[in-house]
Amino acid sequence: MNNIELLDCTLRDGGYVNDWRFGNENLISIFERLVDSGVNIIEIGFLDERRPFDTERSIMPTTTCVDIIFGGLDKKNTMIVGMIDYGTCAIENLSPCNESCLDGIRVIFKKHLMHEAMEFCRQVKSLGYKVFSQLVSITTYNDKELFELTKLVNDVKPYAVSMVDTYGLLHPEDLLHYYQILDDNVLPEIKIGFHAHNNFQLGYANSLAFIGKDSKHDIVVDGTLYGMGKSAGNAPLELLGMRLNNKYGKNYNIDAMLEAIEESVKIFYSKAPWGYKTFFYLCSKNNCHPNYLTYFQKKQNLSIAKLDKLLAMIEPEDKKLLYDKFIAEQIYDYYVKNYIPEKKSIEAFRKEIEGRKFLIVGPGKNVHLQIKEVKKFIYENNPYIISINYIPQDILIDCVFISNGKRYHDMILTLKNTKIKTLATSNVECRNGKFDFVVNRAPLLETNEKIIDNSFLMLLKILKEIDMKEVNCVGFDGYSDKEDNYCNPSMEYYFVKKEAFHLNYHMKKRISELRNDMIINFITYSAYDAVEDINGASI
């Protein structure tokens, strides 16, 4: 077994969590704890000329700025490196190595930039730095392209060449395939590195596979404290250190790592937790850039299953990991037009309720408190009855409007055992069958409100769309800052009491606007039945 070096990149990769604002005290504290831990290499952040210098942040425009923060600290025998994303920091921003506290610079670059980036690596090396050539998104390389890259590496002779699993797509056998190509073709004096991400919960496992393979080369394995890092995070440094101590005879001070986590890193975890998440799993499952999923999610229109289908539709293959907004727009528009047949649903729902009076049942307590008035209205008018996101116990309904997946989950057994029809928004996925009627969610949402998806307003907008002239409502008590106004208190949002006045005001205003197009009657008491201005005066 050749030599293994452990590299920490908390201050660089971890910066994606907090925009590199660790705070000056934390920058120094983390650095000194890492030096005490005995890690071989510490990456102190990005060199990026696009960002102004800030002593609170680990993203700096020049090596001179690096010296201002870290130059006076005792690094002992630790190698100190910074990172440049090729094209974001000109060579002129780098002082010669003998004038800087940095020992090395890691240069990351995408496959299509390999020739220019490796020439930049040559320039950096000429300044005296140990250069690490970092292959962004190693999974985008085919074997032929990786062979081409090894020729460039052997020509420049960097300190190390590293495989970067940018989107956490690798499984151990795939990693070892790439590793074997580098091991067979890279000059023996050049180290081989690996940088993991945890989208598939394999960051640590892949790192162990990398460490455990017999190699002709010395190797460098990356980790971060507590796995802090971009997207789903990285292989945890403390786990790697423990394994290297127990299996490979290293002597890293794990306690120093744990002290850094407790003193500095957990502060950021509590504010913006990283780690395995459905979001990053979906991106990795579909081998695509996270910006695609972010774009689709912002449409506020789709269930998680539909999002998965959209991501699977991205093509051509070379665009999956290179985000293209135009492609995202095309896919979304196509999917909505072809897979959410709203026009047919709307027309079918219109025919379903044609010629009937219409009663909407909400979840407010007054459904029960004023049940006599409710039953009297039903007896006299024989209305089409639709409830919202729940099934009332003592009112026979014809249909339920479903706009919330959790509420649907709570109703599923009742729906299976009844003939109640379903009108659902496109963000809810039906279980074992199809909803009777489906409508696009996005056009029904409010903007810039605490509750953008108020189900009552959403249903009223649907009814307006089909030219309903009159609706009758029960169980829409309004929000209260003192008591629970719901038949089932678990249906109340946690922030409602604090925001009750504003929410009621907004509802009154929107209902007043909708009354320009339809008659809205409240059979039971409702705080929405009168419009007041923000000072409480009637309008």
> Same structural domain for residues 476 and 329?
no
pLDDT bin (cut points 50, 70, 90) of residue 537 is very low
Query: Taking residues 304-313, what's their average pLDDT?
Result: 91
**For residue range 515-525, what is the model confidence (pLDDT) as tens digits?**
999 999 999 99
- Is 55 part of any domain? yes
Q: Using alpha carbons only, how large is the chain's radius of gyration in Å?
A: 30
- Is 454 part of any domain? yes
Task: Say if residue 316 is preceded by a cis peptide, omega within 30 of 0.
Answer: yes
In the block, tokens 């971060």 appear at 224
- Is 537 part of any domain? no
**For residue range 47-67, what is the model confidence (pLDDT) as tens digits?**
999 999 999 999 999 999 999
pLDDT at 539 over 50: no
CB 26 within 8 Å of CB 17: no
d(CA 69, CA 477): 59
Containing structural domain, residue 309: 286-339
Q: How distant, in Å, are the alpha carbons of 6, 362, 389, 538 from that of 473?
A: 66, 8, 15, 22
> Same structural domain for residues 472 and 351?
yes
Q: What's the confidence (pLDDT) of residue 452?
A: 85
Nearest to 531 by CA among 514, 509, 516: 509
**For residue range 39-51, what is the model confidence (pLDDT) as tens digits?**
999 999 999 999 9
pLDDT at 15 over 70: yes
**For residue range 447-505, what is the model confidence (pLDDT) as tens digits?**
877 778 899 999 999 999 999 999 999 999 987 765 555 545 555 444 555 677 788 88
> Same structural domain for residues 184 and 54?
yes
Helices marked H in 392-521:
405-416, 455-465, 496-514
Nearest to 367 by CA among 462, 509, 488, 528: 488
Query: What's the total number of domains in the chain?
Result: 3
> Same structural domain for residues 246 and 366?
no
Mean pLDDT of the chain: 92
- Burial class of residue 516 in the structure, from the number of CB atoms within 10 Å of its CB (0-12 exposed, 13-18 middle, 19+ buried): exposed
pLDDT at 531 over 60: no
Nearest to 106 by CA among 157, 65, 162: 162
Residue 83 belongs to a domain with what CATH number? 3.20.20.70
Q: What's the confidence (pLDDT) of residue 228?
A: 97
pLDDT at 348 over 70: yes
> Same structural domain for residues 321 and 392?
no
Query: Taking residues 414-429, what's their average pLDDT?
Result: 91
- Is 536 part of any domain? no
> Same structural domain for residues 332 and 347?
no
CB 528 within 8 Å of CB 476: yes
pLDDT bin (cut points 50, 70, 90) of residue 538 is very low
Query: Taking residues 385-390, what's their average pLDDT?
Result: 96
> What's the sign of the alpha-carbon dihedral 436, 440, 445, 450?
positive
> Same structural domain for residues 362 and 436?
yes
Whether this prediction's pTM lies above 0.95 is answered by: no
